[in-house]
Structure 1
Amino acid sequence: MRVRAEKQDRDRAAAAEAGPEPRRGRPRSAAAERAILDAVAGLLEAGEPLGSLSIERIARTAGVGKATIYRRWSGKEELFVDVLRDIEPPEPVVSGTEGLADLRLLLESIRRRGQAERSSALLHNVFAQMKSHPRLWDEYHRNVIGPRRAAMLAAVRRAVDAGELRADLDVELMDDLFLGPMLVRTVHRPDAPLPEDLADRIVRTLVEGLAPRSGHR
């Protein structure tokens, strides 16, 4: 018994020195993921419709096997959402503690995204096609638009807690009031100007209010 216990102690010590056991299975390859995302973007840019893109075609173009794609994405909808994320402007880094300051950053990111869609035929065509694919559109809303809206709501709540906005108003309504003008400019009015100070002007106008000031009637 003593010899067995000593052997177990030696085995445990050797295992500790060797470090953690390596994970089983093939490691994720950043190069493979990059090749797959680039392949989809390249096919779309060449005019391939979303509906006609198959996993086989994507794998062949990327130079990988179909299994490599399915290890990373459950299907085309999930893959396409990551492609859209990849070709869009990066998400802003907000403090997570500020209110109106973070709100301005989030609005500015929407303005930049609107500029990118206007200047990128790829983005414009993909979004036009995506609306005819309900599953992909729902996936995009859930994974991209949903988190953006949640981030804006959180920023509005922080602004309320900091005394920057009124506490007696509905937070979601206030969020819509801030977001609405930017969406009108970037989505509904593709010819509308998108000046660099647009986010700041929207926030300032709503905070100051639209009613005329005393003596300015």
Structure 2
Amino acid sequence: MTRGKRDGTPAEGAERTTAEAAAPGAACAGRRPGRPRNEALESTIIESVLDLLERDVPLADLSIERIAREAGVGKATVYRRWSGKTGLMLDVMRSLEEENPELSGESVRDDLVSLLEFLRRRGLAKRNSALMRTVITQAKAQPELWREYHETVVQARRDALLAVLRRGIASGEVRGDCDIEVLADLFAAPMLSRALLHEWKELPEGLAEQIVDTVLDGVRPRG
């Protein structure tokens, strides 16, 4: 087999063993311990998984061998970085994470719209939607995958929503006799339903405002 050059540049078609050596980063769940990171190569592998998901390939059919073939690397290259498919999928989910939108803190209504508009835009992104549907579908078969997704993505979004609702209750903009967890569901569920369960439905501009205003009308203090 053709070896790399003496200066460390990998030869064409090689396993990129030299290119794989880079400054180490924080270890993620499922990642092989002590393996130096090559972010470019890891990004290529993660992008390959996302491409397969976009083509509606089910998670059950995403073997390490198929992922490696799609990425143009050997199986050993993938296994050096992740102990298995679950660990790899956790990093795939992390790659699509975004920061929560910055909220003004002045209007509860406007902050709720900002949070729902963030969900709407994520729903319009085909990769995000495909990944979320895959995670939900595999939740029972892959409990670790669901837990990690919930802890790193879902809970952060929900905490931001709950914080706005608590502020609304304190300011008198939202009734205080409602279960705050139910309130959060009333705001988020319509958008998530369209994005995840009824992906054929449109997510038009103005939908976030429509949902927020409709729910707020029912949960404002009486009298």
TM-score by length of 2: 0.62
Cα shift readout 1:110-166 (whole Å, capped 9, x = no counterpart): 22233334xx6x944882586146214444334332332222222222332344322
Unaligned residue ranges in structure 2 (runs of 5+): 1-22, 26-33
- Deviation of 1:82 after TM superposition, in Å, equals 3.4
Q: Identity of counterpart residues, as a percentage? A: 47
- Deviation of 1:171 after TM superposition, in Å, equals 1.3
Q: Kindly tell me: are residues 139 and 125 of structure 1, through their superposed partners in 2, closer, same or farther at Cα, counting changes over 3 Å?
A: closer
Structure 2 residue identity aligned to 1:131: T
Structure 2 residue identity aligned to 1:93: P
Contact 1:153 1:172 survives alignment (8 Å): yes
1:198 aligns with 207
User: Alignment partner for residue 143 of structure 1, among 138, 142, 152?
Assistant: 152
User: Alignment partner for residue 182 of structure 1, among 191, 214, 221?
Assistant: 191
Separation of aligned partners in 1, 2:84 and 2:195: 30
Separation of aligned partners in 1, 2:201 and 2:188: 16
5 Å-filtered alignment, 1:14-33, equals: 27-33=36-42
- Deviation of 1:31 after TM superposition, in Å, equals 0.9
Q: Kindly tell me: are residues 159 and 137 of structure 1, through their superposed partners in 2, closer, same or farther at Cα, counting changes over 3 Å?
A: same
Contact 1:111 1:194 survives alignment (8 Å): yes
Confirm or deny that 1:93 pairs with 2:75. no
RMSD (Å) for aligned C-alpha atoms:
4.0
Separation of aligned partners in 2, 1:153 and 1:70: 40
SS of 2:125 mapped into structure 1: helix
Confirm or deny that 1:168 pairs with 2:173. no
Unaligned residue ranges in structure 1 (runs of 5+): 1-21
1:116 aligns with 125
5 Å-filtered alignment, 1:4-15, equals: none
Contact 2:24 2:37 survives alignment (8 Å): no
User: Alignment partner for residue 131 of structure 1, among 126, 137, 142?
Assistant: 137
1:159 aligns with 168
Q: Kindly tell me: are residues 44 and 182 of structure 1, through their superposed partners in 2, closer, same or farther at Cα, counting changes over 3 Å?
A: closer
Separation of aligned partners in 1, 2:88 and 2:35: 20
Contact 1:107 1:199 survives alignment (8 Å): yes
Contact 2:53 2:130 survives alignment (8 Å): no
SS of 1:166 mapped into structure 2: coil
Structure 2 residue identity aligned to 1:201: Q
Separation of aligned partners in 2, 1:130 and 1:184: 12
Larger CA deviation: 195-204 vs 177-186 = 177-186
Separation of aligned partners in 1, 2:81 and 2:164: 32
Cα shift readout 1:23-52 (whole Å, capped 9, x = no counterpart): 896653221221111122234445644223
In the alignment of these two chains, the number of paired residues is 188
Q: Kindly tell me: are residues 142 and 164 of structure 1, through their superposed partners in 2, closer, same or farther at Cα, counting changes over 3 Å?
A: same
Largest Rg, 1 or 2? 1
Separation of aligned partners in 1, 2:51 and 2:81: 19
Cα shift readout 1:154-195 (whole Å, capped 9, x = no counterpart): 222233234432233321121122123323443444454432
Separation of aligned partners in 1, 2:176 and 2:132: 40
Cα shift readout 1:38-87 (whole Å, capped 9, x = no counterpart): 12223444564422323344345435566764565453223224324546
